[in-house]
Structure 1
Amino acid sequence: MSYTRVGVVTGANKGIGLAIVRQLALEYPKSPINNGPLLIYLTARDRGRGEAAVKDLFEDAQLKKAKALSADGGLSDIRYYSLDIADSKSISMFAAYLKQAHGGGVDFVINNAGIAMQGFDSNVVKTTLGVNYYGTLEACHALLPNIKPNGRLVNVASTVGRLNKYSDEVRDQFLSSKTEEDVTRIMQTFASAVEAGKEKEAGFPSAAYATSKAGLIGATRALALAEKAKGCSVLINSCCPGYVKTDMTRGGGNKTPDQGARTPVMLAIEDINDKTGLFWQNEEPLEW
């Protein structure tokens, strides 16, 4: 089958990522970008889990009832591809594959992959920033050249990354950051302060995940501004899916994964009036 639309969802073998893939297949037929068959790449680190997730989706009752997948006469198809955003080689191999397989580009990338570790120390901070901040941004830069004009790049962040947990000085540094390098310096300052056991004195919370997501929101905004200044028409946004019941929240949460998927799916395939560089929740821009 040939595809007129192609999308990518990272970290999609379970939880919100899996729900995003499901909702894309369900919502695509009535979206404004529908002009023919859609291929969705479900990416995950573990091949066994990723392929099992694809198999589960092909048997998913919701998708069956809606006849959403091509196997049932629908418009969408789902394919697994191995991607570990903590591994530079894995990222570059996936980007090269997309360029070779889809020379005309892909329509959207939703960066959902991330980690939330228990505990707090310098190792937890290094690992968390390595995936949620540095890994996601590396994926952004590698995959952005493969996104078509007027396509979408969506980074899944969190409201725990809002700036009410920081000193006025650190908050001002975030808000005045114009480039990714500015935000990265804040992340480096945080990591160094944690290593010295002085993150609170430096104006940061003792929270690796929250700070990594604050960095991601800031860097996404900076990337969007930089690309817009270069004349790039890709819309680049970050969003919070809400407090969703998943393994990452250890069963907590007040939203289902499908409810959490709504905002990232909207940012990928609906009309958002050329809005870029914003942070969203509940399908609306949110003050950072």
Structure 2
Amino acid sequence: MTYPTTHPATWFVTGASRGLGLELVRQILDRGDNVTATSRSAERLVAALDGSDTSRLLALEVDLRDEQAVSAAITATIERFGDLDVVVNNAGYGFLAAVEEVTDAQARDMFDVQLFGAWNVLRSALPTFRAKRSGHIINVSSIVGLVAFPGWGLYAAGKFAIEGLSASLAGEVAGLGIDVTIVEPGYLRTDFLKPVSLGVASTEIEGYEAIREMTAAHQAMPGTQLGDPVRAAAAIVDVAVSGAAPLHQLLGSDSYAIATGALKGLAEEFEAGHARAITTDIPGVN
């Protein structure tokens, strides 16, 4: 368990101005912990936290694509609070389009924020964690980081990358006292599916009518999602405080049902291809 018990913990949370990130910051402050919260608008973040005690908050506007800016934010956190205990990579946005419809610029923008932004945070935070041989990294993925669906290709690609990065990192730092958890929520009742957080194809290509229908259905979904962001944020706090979460922490009964169903289907696929798989071994080599 790496979460400190004798003094307030210090958190670093990205993507904190709305949705799950905002609720997480609110709960961290209510616990009496310190938190650096990054967003594109510190003013909007502070305004959204009206009613919370923000004396332990460091609100920063940080371009996560800028490695030097991220490093400066981590340095400012330690200078302000004297330590760093938990990092939550939460920044990101959704995107719905057929693979063929995604432009090069759209793909690069997604990876810059969702993957390389998180990687910048990791590179900046890990030296502190290694030096004190403790710390907890929580990377917020999605059920779409485990199971891809038509129309979610770009978003899934970014989240699948986060999954692979996190799994490798977990093995690398296991002997250094550093914990890594991947959080995979299902549908949360946030702004994620609203225009402010959801990109769509700028040019629609004939033949992908099913993607158009799926996109329209998701755009009509806000307010009906199963997941409660307050409970999801509480679960993330518990992941850090308990220090007992598995590498993959699903959030939501929908996420659990999709993941376990996909796991069964994947096992069946592997078994179906078993006979062909073993034909590629060099004979006589065990």
Give the TM bin, normalised by the shorter chain: 0.5 to 0.7
Quick check: 2:29–2:54 contact (8 Å CA) kept in 1?
no
Give 1:127's match in structure 2, choosing from 100, 109, 114. Answer: 109
Structure 1, unpaired ranges of 5+: 29-36, 59-68, 72-76, 166-203
Paired letter, 1:259? R
- Does the residue aligned with 1:19 lie in a helix, a strand or coil? helix
Q: Deviations over 1:211-260 (max 9, x none)?
A: 100110111010111122xx311101111232112221222521122122
- Does the residue aligned with 1:127 lie in a helix, a strand or coil? helix
Partner residue in 2 for 1:199: none
Partner residue in 2 for 1:32: none
1:14 and 2:9 aligned: no
Give 1:144's match in structure 2, choosing from 112, 123, 126. Answer: 126
Partner residue in 1 for 2:75: 96
Cα distance in 2, alignment partners of residues 94 and 22 from structure 1? 20
State TM-score, norm by structure 2: 0.66
1:10-89 → structure 2 map (5 Å cutoff)? 10-26=14-30, 28=31, 38-54=33-49, 56-58=50-52, 69=53, 77-89=56-68
Paired letter, 2:126? L
Deviation at 1:39, TM superposition (A): 1.2
State TM-score, norm by structure 1: 0.66
1:1-288 → structure 2 map (5 Å cutoff)? 4-26=8-30, 28=31, 38-54=33-49, 56-58=50-52, 69=53, 77-103=56-82, 105-119=83-97, 120-147=102-129, 148-163=132-147, 207-228=153-174, 231-250=175-194, 251=222, 253-272=225-244, 275=246, 278-282=247-251
Paired letter, 2:251? N
Quick check: 2:87–2:138 contact (8 Å CA) kept in 1?
yes
Q: Deviations over 1:169-191 (max 9, x none)?
A: xxxxxxxxxxxxxxxxxxxxxxx
- Does the residue aligned with 1:106 lie in a helix, a strand or coil? coil
Paired letter, 2:125? L
Q: Deviations over 1:117-162 (max 9, x none)?
A: 3543322211111111111112111122234533211000001011
More displaced stretch, 141-150 vs 210-219: 141-150
More displaced stretch, 216-225 vs 94-103: 94-103
- Does the residue aligned with 2:227 lie in a helix, a strand or coil? coil
Percent identity, please: 25
Quick check: 1:241–1:263 contact (8 Å CA) kept in 2?
no
Cα distance in 2, alignment partners of residues 50 and 24 from structure 1? 14
In structure 2, the CA distance between the partners of 1:48 and 1:4, relative to structure 1 (3 Å rule), is: closer
Provide the aligned length of Structure 1 versus Structure 2.
217
Paired letter, 1:94? A
Cα distance in 1, alignment partners of residues 29 and 42 from structure 2? 21
In structure 2, the CA distance between the partners of 1:20 and 1:94, relative to structure 1 (3 Å rule), is: same
Runs of 4+ in 1 over 6 A off after TM superposition: 283-288
Cα distance in 2, alignment partners of residues 132 and 258 from structure 1? 23
